[in-house]
Copies of this chain bind each other. A is one copy, B any other.
């Protein structure tokens, strides 16, 4: 199971923990580590070719992010990723993203927004032809928009929180993706592009209310979509 991806880590001293955190996050994102799975430090240490000390530290950090839970003297297990969790995280994310949009409204350089709008429309126009390329593009634009907003909110702490939530959400989405197969998701991606356009247009018009409502709808529809994808294909425990 874990042997499929050896994933050795050769980071400079002091950055190993961080590298391991990222790699483990990716493992969860891409379904190599499943919910409920027990993580054994020694195994991970072997796999990453480091001692178990940095592994342990990485696990503590992951527990802080909320990806795994740590039980004293019992180690780490990957958190359940069910429809309930998706809804919960999305609810929180919605509240924060909307706040960020309100704060950011009128503070983002219009040039950036224009450029983004152009690319989004181009993406939304193409109906799901050549897959993976478009998926990558969509995700990049998504990231760019949300980062732009978080930056412009002028609230460092909020930005940091949003980033954490984005990571969590990505974990959920990627698990669902794997379960569900890809073909439906192309549709969702173009839908998302349209939603993004509405948000960007709201921001361009300096209309905080509209933009924040669009953001709310955007996240809600993501929530509905991905939580459904999860329930559809997972036999919950």
Q: For A233, what are the chain B residues with a Cβ–Cβ distance below 8 Å?
A: none
User: Nearest Cβ in chain B — how far from A208, in angstroms?
Assistant: 14
Is the C-beta of A151 less than 8 angstroms from some C-beta in chain B?
no
Docked-complex contact B73 and A13, CB < 8 angstroms: yes
Of B53, B66, B155, which one neighbours A92 at CB under 8 angstroms? Answer: B155
Which range contains the number of A residues in contact with the other chain? Answer: 20 to 34
- Given the complex of chains A and B, what is the CA–CA distance between A17 and B73 in angstroms? 12
For residues 96 through 129 of chain A, which have their beta carbon under 8 Å from a beta carbon of chain B? Answer: 96, 98-99, 103
With A64-B65, A72-B15: A155-B57 Cβ-Cβ less than 8 Å: no
Is the C-beta of A61 less than 8 angstroms from some C-beta in chain B?
yes
Is the C-beta of A35 less than 8 angstroms from some C-beta in chain B?
no
Q: How many copies of this chain does one complex carry? A: 2
User: Nearest Cβ in chain B — how far from A111, in angstroms?
Assistant: 27
User: Nearest Cβ in chain B — how far from A212, in angstroms?
Assistant: 11
Q: For A13, what are the chain B residues with a Cβ–Cβ distance below 8 Å?
A: 73
Q: Mark A68-110, 1 if CB is under 8 A from B, else 0.
A: 0000110000000000010011011011101100010000000
Docked-complex contact B99 and A95, CB < 8 angstroms: yes
Is the C-beta of A161 less than 8 angstroms from some C-beta in chain B?
yes
Is the C-beta of A160 less than 8 angstroms from some C-beta in chain B?
yes
Docked-complex contact B72 and A14, CB < 8 angstroms: yes
Nearest B residue to A85 via CB reads B157
Q: For A61, what are the chain B residues with a Cβ–Cβ distance below 8 Å?
A: 60, 63-64
Is the C-beta of A195 less than 8 angstroms from some C-beta in chain B?
no
Docked-complex contact B155 and A88, CB < 8 angstroms: yes
A–B pairs, 16, beta carbons within 8 Å: A13-B73, A15-B72, A17-B60, A53-B53, A57-B60, A60-B60, A60-B61, A64-B65, A88-B156, A88-B157, A88-B158, A91-B99, A91-B155, A92-B157, A92-B158, A95-B96
What 9 A-B pairs are tightest by C-beta distance, nearest first? A64-B64, A14-B72, A88-B157, A95-B99, A14-B73, A95-B95, A88-B155, A60-B60, A92-B158
